[in-house]
Amino acid sequence: MTNPLIDKYNEIYGKKEKPKLPRIEDYEGEETFADELKKSKPPILKSYDLDDLKTSFQQVAEQLQNDEAQVVSMNMEFGDHMNKITFEVYLDV
């Protein structure tokens, strides 16, 4: 048993067909995302010695004072036992 409203809709507008999935052959010659990633250069990441955080912080603070770095964002978290402030800093390389 079919729904008469659906039958009337199909009679007026025609029955809808399922969409066709794209085929791989339709995209021949186009670069994939992986190909684009191979061509692009990854950003240069600079890390500091985790054993000596005080020195690392001082290095970043000095770069900020010399306008060699820029603070992009700051996040503050307050907890029961510890408060945390995180700075996101971009360095001029």
Full-model pTM? 0.40
CA distances from 78 to 14, 54, 82 (A): 61, 21, 7
The residues spanned by each domain of the chain are: 4-91
Per-residue pLDDT 10s for the chain (93 aa) are 678 998 888 889 988 888 888 787 777 777 777 777 777 776 666 666 666 778 888 888 898 899 888 989 999 999 888 888 888 888 876
Structure tokens that stand for 72 in this block: 């992009």
CA distance 82 to 78: 7
Structure tokens that stand for 77 in this block: 């978290």
CA distance 4 to 26: 39
